[in-house]
A and B are shown apart, each in its own frame.
Chain A
Amino acid sequence: DIQMTQSPSSLSASVGDRVSITCRASQSFSSYLNWYQQKPGKAPKLLIFAASSLQDGVPSRFTCSGSGTDFTLTISDLRPEDFATYYCQQTYSIPFTFGGGTKVEI
């Protein structure tokens, strides 16, 4: 199984900040990497798929870079509605494993 390791597990930030979350895979793959946002009590929401493609309706302040084993989600100009937990997911091979999550807090 491919292990996905996210860092940090949590971070504190302020509105207007730029934050970055890293996702490291235990083996290399090109772009089979997705990012989800989850708010308390809600289902996850797709943000980015195929490593760099923004899902419809997702603001352009969310970007992703990387390939191989290291990927980074960057949120520019943090907004109040961005405070949530973020998960990466690989869909290169089954089981489609998720990272442990990164909680972005005020």
Chain B
Amino acid sequence: QVQLVESGGGVVQPGRSLRLSCAASGFTFSSYDMHWVRQAPGMGLEWVTLIWYDGSNKDYADSVKGRFTISRDNSKSTVYLQMNSLRAEDTAVYYCARRGGSSSVVYFDNWGQGTLVTVSS
């Protein structure tokens, strides 16, 4: 079955960096676009970034543009989120999600369990 497992979260000081990983299994990873979505404590969901199946296209929410970088290694079935210049407002549970659908239909059909990032001095 499809499995997405995030790792790399933790407590980090403002201005520092952190890299999250999402290891995928149970499907042909190299055929799927992947996304990161975050959720601040007690708050709603916020889409963060996406990467196409082959890594050729990426996009970001304005709130993280220029600070976060998404990448993937299809040989390892893993997607990464490099987070630099972290701020208190980046504190959240970070989920990776698989894009379902085809053509213009987009939805997130499988999600990881999430990893908590806390930005605090």
Contact = CB atoms under 8 A, between A and B. Distances in A.
Interface of A: 1, 32, 34, 36, 38, 42-46, 49-50, 55, 87, 89, 91, 94-101
Given A46-B100, A50-B101, A94 B59 contact: yes
Contacts of A44: 37, 45, 95, 108, 111
Q: Taking chain B's interface residues, is the majority helix, strand, or loop, or is none over half, making it mixed?
A: strand
Interface residues of B, number: 23
Interface string B43-64: 0111100100000000101100
The residue among B35, B62, B101 with the most chain A CB atoms within 10 A of its own CB is B101
A54 to B, nearest CB: 12
Q: Taking chain A's interface residues, is the majority helix, strand, or loop, or is none over half, making it mixed?
A: loop
Contacts of A100: 44
Interface of B: 35, 37, 44-47, 50, 59, 61-62, 95, 100-101, 104-109, 111-114
B47 A98 contact: yes
Contacts of B44: 87, 98-101
B112 A96 contact: no
A34 B107 CA distance: 7
Given A44-B95, A46-B100, A50-B107, 11 more contacts: A36-B108, A43-B112, A43-B114, A44-B111, A46-B107, A49-B109, A94-B59, A95-B47, A95-B61, A96-B47, A97-B47
